[in-house]
Amino acid sequence: MTLSRNELIRYSRQLVIPELGPVGQEKLKAAKVAVIGAGGLGTLVLGYLAGAGAGEIGVFDFGPLELSNLHRQLIYRTGDIGKLKTELAKQRLLEINPDIKVNANEGILTAENIRGALEGYDYIADCTDNFITRAAINKACLELGKTYVYGAVYQFEGQLAVFDPRGGPCLGCLVPDVESMENQACAEAGVMGPAAGAVASMQALEVLKLILGFENLKGKFAMLDFRLADFTVIELKKREDCPACGAKARLDKRFINSLAVEFITPEELKARLDCAGLPRVLDLRYAWEHDLAHIKGDAWVDFDELIKNGAGFQPDDELVVYCKGQSKSTTAFRALREKGFKNIYVLKGGIDAWAEKIEKGMLRY
C-alpha cells in the first residue's frame, strides 16, 4: 500500500517522526477502527483518527444531536441540532479527510448485536458513557480477540486503559462489581468539556500507538484528576475470579446486563397513566432539570433522600422512577429494593426516551 503525493503532503508533519515515517503511515492507512459513541470523547477521537489518516473508521451511536451536547462535542454546530450524530460525524470526518472511508452505524449496540457490528474492525475505541454498553464491548472483544482502548470522563476526572483479551486483564478484572460503575453517565453526573477533550486526545493517541506497534497503556490503568492536575498510572493484573475472563469465567448475565432491573417502557407508562390506579412517577434529576421539562403529573424528589430513607414513600407504594437516561434511576431501584420496596420500576431510557416516543414536542437538553 503506497502513499500518494497528496498523502505525503497531508501527513508530512507526522511522517517526519523517525519512528513513524511512510511505513507507519501505511499501517494507519490500512487500519480499520470502530469508535463506539460519538459524544464528548468519541467526537474528538474520531477527528484525530481521521486527521491522522486511519483508513476506515466506523462511527457507532444513536439519536439526534441536542443543544446540551455542544459544550463538549466540538465537531457539531448549533445548526446541526436535531440531526443524527452518526451522519453528522461522517460528514465532518470526510470534510477533514476525504481520502478515508467512514461508516455511519445508527442504532443501539447490545450484547446481542455488538459482536457482528465489530468483527470487521481491527481496533476498538470505547467512548460510551454507560456500563451496560461497556460490558457488552468487553464481552465482544473477548470473544473476537480484539484489543480495545477504554476511555471515561466524569466531572473533572478521567480514566484510560488498553485491554488486550489475548492474555491481559479485561474490564471485568478492573471492575468485577458491576454495581459500583452504574451511576456514571455524564448526562446525569456532569462533565467539564476540556476534561473530555483531554481524555479523548489521549485515547486517540493510544489507538494510534496500537496501530503503529508503539508502547502503550496495555495492562495499565490511568487515572486523571484535572481538578488537581494529578496523573496516576497503575499496573492491572488479570484476576482469576474475573466474571468475564477468569479461570471460571461465566460471561454471566450479572456482569453483562447488570443486576436485574424491572423496566417499564414509555409506551407502557403512558398506557398506565391513561388508566385508573396510577403509579407514582418520581423525577430523580436536579430540580432545575425538572423545571426545564418533566412528565405531567410526576413528582420531583431529592435523589439522596430517596435512596437514604425512601423520602416518605412506603414499601407497598407503586413507583416509577426516572432520570435523564436510566443510570441514576437504576441506582435508586437497587437502593429501594434493599429497603423492601417491591412495586418499583425504572422508566427505560428515562425522559430522553419519553420525549422521543411520547411527547415529541418536549424540550430536550
- Residue pair 247/240 in contact (Cβ under 8 Å)? The answer is yes
Catalytically annotated residue among 170, 173, 242, 323: 323
**Whether 323 is catalytic:** yes
Could you tell me the CA-to-CA distances from 51 to 54, 76, 119, 205, 346 in Å, in that order? 8, 16, 24, 12, 41
Residue 26, Cβ neighbours under 10 Å: how many? Answer: 16
DSSP 232-249: EEEE----TT-TTTSTT-
SS3 11: coil
The answer to whether 186 is a known catalytic residue is yes
Cell of 126: 470505547
Distance (Å, rounded) from C-alpha 298 to C-alpha 286? Answer: 14
Alpha-carbon distances of 64 from 69, 242, 253, 325, rounded to whole Å: 10, 36, 30, 15
> Which residue among 173, 186, 242, 245 is the active-site one?
186
User: Which residues are annotated as catalytic?
Assistant: 186, 323
